[in-house]
Amino acid sequence: MSAPTFTSAQEPLPLQKKRSIVLVGLMGVGKSSIGKALAKRLHLPFVDSDAVIESNAGKTISEIFDTHGEEWFRRREYETIRDLLAGEALVLATGGGAFEDARIRACTRQYGISIWLQAPLKTLAERLARRGFERRPLLREGEPRAVLKKLMKRREPFYETADIITQSRSIPKPAVVENILEALEKLALKRRDNPLPANPLSGFEQVHIPLGGRSYDIMIGEGLLSRAGEFLQPFLKRPKVAVVADETVAEKHQDTLLESLKRKQIDAHVIPVPSGEASKSFEQLQKLIEQLLENRIERGDMLIAFGGGVVGDLAGCAAGLALRGIDFVQIPTTLLAQVDSSVGGKTGINVPQGKNLVGVFHQPRLVLADTSLLKTLPARHLMAGYAEVAKYALIGDLPLFNWLEARGKDIIAGDPAALRQAIWSSCSAKAAIVAADEHEAGVRALLNLGHSFGHALEHAAGYGDRLLHGEAVAIGMSLAFGFSCHLGLCAQEDVERVRAHLDGVGLPTSLHGLDFPVDGKTLGDAMLHDKKNKDGKLTLILAHGIGRCFRAEGVDLQQVSDFLDMAGQKSQ
């Protein structure tokens, strides 16, 4: 009998407090039968989300797919699971594809404990064959076993982020339930040791990055900076930190941070860094490390990255190298940094050959995303950060893109609720991807949508204010969808929809209007230095449609260069 395995905790779990149990896994794994038995033992109600959707629609799942399509079903699936988890504790069996939705994973982290029921492909195929493949809409799209194998490969990275992983093969059902009960008890005890406060202030959101011993949390909300000392104190071995601060940010917000640290008797040494992409250099990295060492920083000390993506990348890289690695905390002050660069542990500097080509993977201990800091962010930089928000929707979340079409201008206008929702959705999506692929060996590459084109544009622009990173990514995403359409991979209407949305919030989407020369050869040559390339061939993130991106290897450079020349001519 296989013992369950565990991922790390996302928040303290008092034993007396009941949380919902959410069963995830492929169709046929036994979520309903095991869920009913588990609910009985836990004295909780059992609910099957598919059954609720069927009851509300007055149709079977197959009929819903035939009548309304999968997109309609996925929207109802998210709304149903969200509402169920926000209520009283229960045992919930979800559909096989539910955990692909970043919002459902985030709701589960907030309100419940997720359990992935595993079973071999052969076992699942045999079970489903006995019940009739025709009852499963997705299995009608091809040879059932081949489709099931494809679904397993696509969904397992998301299932792997579950709190508990256990087997459901031919093991008798009572034994599976006992395994789960034992795992729940161990998880509850384990979560007592989480260093974050058990009851964060009302109004804060929390997203967990489950990476075993490198796990950490992202806190989202207004007023976090004024409480930074309280959140950092549990991580400190001695009351001393080094603050690497963007010069512009320091002028506006440094006093708030230092006062917060002072209230907790934490000594802070501030190291200012010039604003701008030019600071991501070997020269600045060496200078920063030397200042840390001159200040007698120790391996057990903490470094705080206080600024946008430039400071986060630079300080994180310095933290990973100094004394062979010291802890650091991210306090991102731009929208782009709060939704993307501060999360995931990718650090680095630029070199003449390209952007972020030198660096290390070094995870922070905590991320504090204070949304009130965005009130002083210039409008252009807020729009640039929005490009990364849109990226998460485009790579794998069509419902999120639909929401952005409705609320995108509110986010750009600084609406607090819309901003908070956008940051939470983005961080939740990235958390799941990073947990599944920390070092970018697979699914994490999707986060580079638009970046191969975008980095080439930044290189051509000289890495400065002529073209901000988010602006380059917006153009890059438009080019990626356009190139996908050029190859016959996605519809022109998807390309137009992407461009219309980005245009609508004020982001650039074409090569027209750039104040520096661009052509297919120049951009193509720059793209050859991309980290994702293999054997001298381009690796790009392309799309079958909105929310359906994939990694394409071995892309012909000449074909890309010709497309870029054509795109440049059309933009004139």
| Cα–Cα distance measured from residue 183 to residue 181, given in angstroms and rounded to the nearest whole number | 5
CB 206 within 8 A of CB 11: yes
Q: pTM (2 decimals)?
A: 0.67
Active site residue 451: yes
Active site residue 553: no
Quickly state the pLDDT bin for 375 (edges 50, 70, 90): very high
| Cα–Cα distance measured from residue 259 to residue 256, given in angstroms and rounded to the nearest whole number | 5
Question: What does the block give as tokens for 144?
Answer: 């059932």
Quickly state the pLDDT bin for 454 (edges 50, 70, 90): very high
For residues 284-304, give the mean pLDDT: 93
For residues 479-494, give the mean pLDDT: 97
Q: Is the predicted pLDDT of residue 561 greater than 70, yes or no?
A: yes
Q: Is the predicted pLDDT of residue 202 greater than 50, yes or no?
A: no
User: Which residue in the list 179, 356, 448, 533 is annotated as catalytic?
Assistant: 448
Q: Is the predicted pLDDT of residue 122 greater than 70, yes or no?
A: yes
CB neighbours of residue 171 within 10 Å: 16
Closest CA to 264 of 213, 216, 228: 228
pLDDT of the residue at 464: 83
Q: Sign of torsion, CA 119 125 126 130?
A: positive
Quickly state the pLDDT bin for 5 (edges 50, 70, 90): very low
CB 516 within 8 A of CB 466: yes
User: Which residue in the list 74, 346, 362, 486 is annotated as catalytic?
Assistant: 346
CB neighbours of residue 288 within 10 Å: 24
Active site residue 405: no
Quickly state the pLDDT bin for 55 (edges 50, 70, 90): very high
Active site residue 247: no
Active site residue 141: no
User: Which residue in the list 103, 208, 420, 451 is annotated as catalytic?
Assistant: 451
For residues 386-394, give the mean pLDDT: 96
Dihedral class, residue 412 (left if φ above 0, else alpha if ψ from -120 to 50, else beta): alpha
- Residue 315 main-chain phi, psi, to 5 deg: -65, -40
Active site residue 440: yes
User: Which residue in the list 109, 253, 420, 444 is annotated as catalytic?
Assistant: 444
More confident residue, 68 or 405: 405
pLDDT of the residue at 398: 87
Q: Is the predicted pLDDT of residue 320 greater than 80, yes or no?
A: yes
- Whole-number Cα distances in Å, 258 to 226, 232, 242, 293, 367: 9, 12, 11, 21, 17
CB neighbours of residue 508 within 10 Å: 22
Closest CA to 426 of 482, 367, 498, 506: 367
pLDDT of the residue at 51: 93
User: Which residue in the list 103, 430, 459, 501 is annotated as catalytic?
Assistant: 430
Provide the residue count of the chain.
572
Contacts of 181 (CB under 8 A, 6+ apart): 38, 41, 42
Contacts of 561 (CB under 8 A, 6+ apart): 520, 521, 523, 524
pLDDT of the residue at 133: 53
Of 152-161, 380-389, 491-500, the one with minimum mean pLDDT is 152-161
Q: Is the predicted pLDDT of residue 77 greater than 70, yes or no?
A: yes
For residues 254-268, give the mean pLDDT: 95
pLDDT of the residue at 66: 83
Q: In percent, how much of the chain has pLDDT > 90?
A: 52
User: Which residue in the list 160, 277, 440, 471 is annotated as catalytic?
Assistant: 440
Quickly state the pLDDT bin for 70 (edges 50, 70, 90): confident
Beta-bridge mates of residue 346: 361
**3-state class (DSSP) for residue 420:** helix
Q: In percent, how much of the chain has pLDDT > 70?
A: 90
pLDDT of the residue at 11: 34
Question: What does the block give as tokens for 490?
Answer: 């996605």
| Cα–Cα distance measured from residue 316 to residue 216, given in angstroms and rounded to the nearest whole number | 15
For residues 554-568, give the mean pLDDT: 91
pLDDT of the residue at 26: 85
Residues 129-167: pLDDT tens digits?
Answer: 666 555 666 666 667 778 788 888 888 888 888 889 988
pLDDT of the residue at 571: 53
Q: Is the predicted pLDDT of residue 12 greater than 90, yes or no?
A: no
| Cα–Cα distance measured from residue 82 to residue 110, given in angstroms and rounded to the nearest whole number | 10
Residue 283 DSSP one-character state: H
Quickly state the pLDDT bin for 16 (edges 50, 70, 90): very low
Q: How far is CA 159 from the centre of its chain?
A: 15
Long-range CB pairs of 86-90 (<8 Å, 24+ gap) are: 86/111, 88/45, 89/18, 89/19, 89/20, 89/44, 90/20, 90/21, 90/39, 90/44, 90/45, 90/46, 90/47
Active site residue 469: yes
| Cα–Cα distance measured from residue 390 to residue 505, given in angstroms and rounded to the nearest whole number | 11
| Cα–Cα distance measured from residue 467 to residue 471, given in angstroms and rounded to the nearest whole number | 6
Q: Is the predicted pLDDT of residue 128 greater than 80, yes or no?
A: no
Return mean pLDDT, the chain: 86
Contacts of 187 (CB under 8 A, 6+ apart): 6, 9, 13, 113, 163, 164
**3-state class (DSSP) for residue 537:** strand
Closest CA to 11 of 110, 92, 86: 110
User: Which residue in the list 381, 455, 499, 501 is annotated as catalytic?
Assistant: 455
Beta-bridge mates of residue 303: 242, 328
Residues 21-36: pLDDT tens digits?
Answer: 999 988 888 898 899 9
Per-residue HEC secondary structure of 321-341 comes to HHHHCCEEEEEECCHHHHHHH
Active site residue 486: no
User: Which residue in the list 105, 280, 469, 486 is annotated as catalytic?
Assistant: 469
